[in-house]
Structure 1
Amino acid sequence: MTGIKRYLYLALGWFSLVTGVIGIFVPLLPTTPLVLLAAWCFSKSSQRFHDWLLNHKYFGPIVRDWQSADGIPRKTRNRALIFMWCGMGLSMILVWRFWATVGLIAIGTAVSWHLLRMPLRNETVLHDEDNKR
């Protein structure tokens, strides 16, 4: 990978992570997708930062859940769907533009379809594995 491309990925990763942290406090600014984007960017640019993010107390579980082939917990999936649709519903009401509403419904439907097709992880097995560590 060229040096410029690596630095662009690194800059996008940090921008995404900082924006995701801001999203914790600002309604309608998503945190999880931005943290996942940061992890992907770091995986392309800096193994050190990628490892740091994987081992982070708060962001590590988000990234590890997404990267694992075991799927996501049902509770997490359902919570993501509820918050996503509530946030988009509020946006549709506040913006009240036909094309914005159509766009939000299309994006929400696509993301919902993706989340509903993801495998669900057996949470009891995960807790047993965590207790062994």
Structure 2
Amino acid sequence: MQGILLRRALAGFGWLMVALGIVGVFLPVVPTTPFLIVGAWAFSRSSRRFHDWLYGHPRLGPPLRAWDRYGVIPVHAKMLSVAGMWGSLALVILFVSDGWLLPSLHAAVITGVTAYVLSRPSRPPNG
């Protein structure tokens, strides 16, 4: 019984992530691929049929396959993610923190994440 409930919860979570990814297709400030990756992960543990549908989808599948096979993060996604991370540091400095510890920790984490994001290829080989 618990297995069935977990699979249904993961499938529902997967569909929520796919819905958010589809919103990202139309709103440039909402990322598409990260939501689809999480949705694919949830489907991989709940429904092989939905997982295969998502990977095979003509519009949603290619960025998933590019990430899965080559670790691709497109240039526009890199720019948005890096700008968002460093913009969040500015917000922490201006509105959240009274000292230097939180902004320093935040900066250390996003420096590492920025390096990772920028180190990923921007397109598949021969693409």
Quick check: TM above 0.5?
A: yes
Q: Give 3-state SS (helix, strand or coil) of 2:72's partner.
A: coil
Distance in 2 of aligned mates of 1:106 and 1:32? 25
After superposition, the Cα gap between the structure-2 partners of 1:25 and 1:64, relative to the gap in structure 1 and judged at 3 Å, is: same
Name the % identity: 34
Distance in 1 of aligned mates of 2:124 and 2:18? 29
Distance in 2 of aligned mates of 1:107 and 1:30? 20
Partner residue of 2:77? 80
Partner residue of 2:113? 111
Instruction: Mark the runs of 5 or more structure 2 residues left unpaired by the alignment.
Output: none
Q: Give 3-state SS (helix, strand or coil) of 1:64's partner.
A: helix
Distance in 1 of aligned mates of 2:113 and 2:107? 10
CA contact (8 A) 2:72 2:123 kept: yes
Partner residue of 2:5? 4
The offset of 1:83, in angstroms, is 1.9
CA RMSD, aligned part only?
3.1
Alignment: residue pair count: 120
Instruction: Provide TM-score, normalisation by structure 1.
Output: 0.68
Instruction: Provide TM-score, normalisation by structure 2.
Output: 0.71
After superposition, the Cα gap between the structure-2 partners of 1:122 and 1:24, relative to the gap in structure 1 and judged at 3 Å, is: closer
Give a deviation string over 1:47-106, Cα, whole Å, max 9, x none. Answer: 1111111111111011111211x3427xx2x4322122334455666784244x948745
Instruction: Mark the runs of 5 or more structure 1 residues left unpaired by the alignment.
Output: 128-133
CA contact (8 A) 1:71 1:118 kept: yes
